[in-house]
Amino acid sequence: MLTLEEAQTLLNGCIREELVDHTFGDAEVFWWDANKARDEPGAEVASAYYSSSHRSVSIRNGRGNFQDDDAQTLRRCGRLGGVERNDVNGTVPGIVLTLNKD
């Protein structure tokens, strides 16, 4: 199992993408290996869920699970690759912010 500091180092080397529900303020966050294509096996390094009552981060392959304050510490790790809006009715097409990954 990774320590919090090891998880920060791992995720800081990744590209972070967010799916944000603007109605409820919760977010799903995914970290991708910056050296792999998103659809390549093993590209997803971690995923997380953030809400007003619960925060959790799961590092793939059983390498770590972080809750609440520790999960919040990991929230902004990695380089932001994009934010997509997700409302109660599902993903809203055309409302996508993709940032330069360079």
The token pair that represents 43 in the structure block: 């590209």
Looking at residue 87, its pLDDT comes to 65
> Torsion over CA of 78, 15, 90 and 70, rounded to 10 degrees?
-30
SS3 label, residue 93:
strand
Q: Dig out the tokens for 40 from the structure.
A: 């390549």
Instruction: State residue 6 phi and psi, 5-degree precision.
Output: -65, -40
Extents of the domains making up the chain: 4-94
Q: What are the residues facing 30 on neighbouring strands?
A: 17, 47
Distance CA 80, CA 19 (A): 12
pTM (two decimals): 0.81
Consecutive 10-residue runs of the chain (102 residues): their mean pLDDT?
98 95 87 90 94 95 97 97 73 47 43
User: Which pLDDT value is given to residue 95?
Assistant: 44
pLDDT at 89: 55
